[in-house]
Amino acid sequence: MANLVETLTDATKSIGVNAAYGAPVEIDGASFVPVALVWAGFGGGNGTASSPGATEKKLGAGDAGGEGFGGGGLSVPIGAYVTGPDGKATFEPNLIALLAVSLPVVVATGWSLAKFVRALKK
């Protein structure tokens, strides 16, 4: 398990600023820096079996105590910072991605408001 944790730690060092902002790209005198919404989550596990007064005994992977692991991530491109010939940087959003990212918030808000209105009518 210790080697797995070390491997995961090494693999996830790039999550953060380097994952959210891409390398600048030059196109026709303008500089573009892509921006993404990045999310990552990981789990872990281990197991031992013990009873009061007994010494701990490590169980195999198929036994009830088992070991486990999980992880996942998401990266959604939300836009880019564009620097023109005048040197000013502006954020240009990716509207389709922003709508996709904001959809769960809109749905949850609508659902909550509907429940609230129903509660007020009773």
Q: What would the pLDDT profile of 39-56 be if each residue is shown by its tens digit?
A: 777 777 766 655 555 455
Q: What is the 3-state secondary structure (H, E, C) of 7-18?
A: HHHHHCCCCCHH
- Please give the pLDDT value at position 32: 92
What is the residue extent of each domain of the chain? Answer: 2-93
Torsion from C-alpha of 19, 21, 26, 28, nearest 10 degrees: 120
Structure confidence by residue, pLDDT tens digits, 57-98: 555 555 555 667 777 888 888 899 999 778 889 999 988 887
The length of the chain in residues reads 122
Q: How far apart are CA 107 and CA 12, in angstroms?
A: 32
List the strands of the sheet with 25-27, edge to edge.
Answer: 25-27, 30-42, 71-83, 89-93
d(CA 17, CA 54): 48
Task: Name the β-bridge partners of 76.
Answer: 37
Q: pLDDT > 70: what percent of the chain?
A: 71
- pTM here is 0.51
In the predicted structure, residue 101 carries a pLDDT above the cut 90:
no
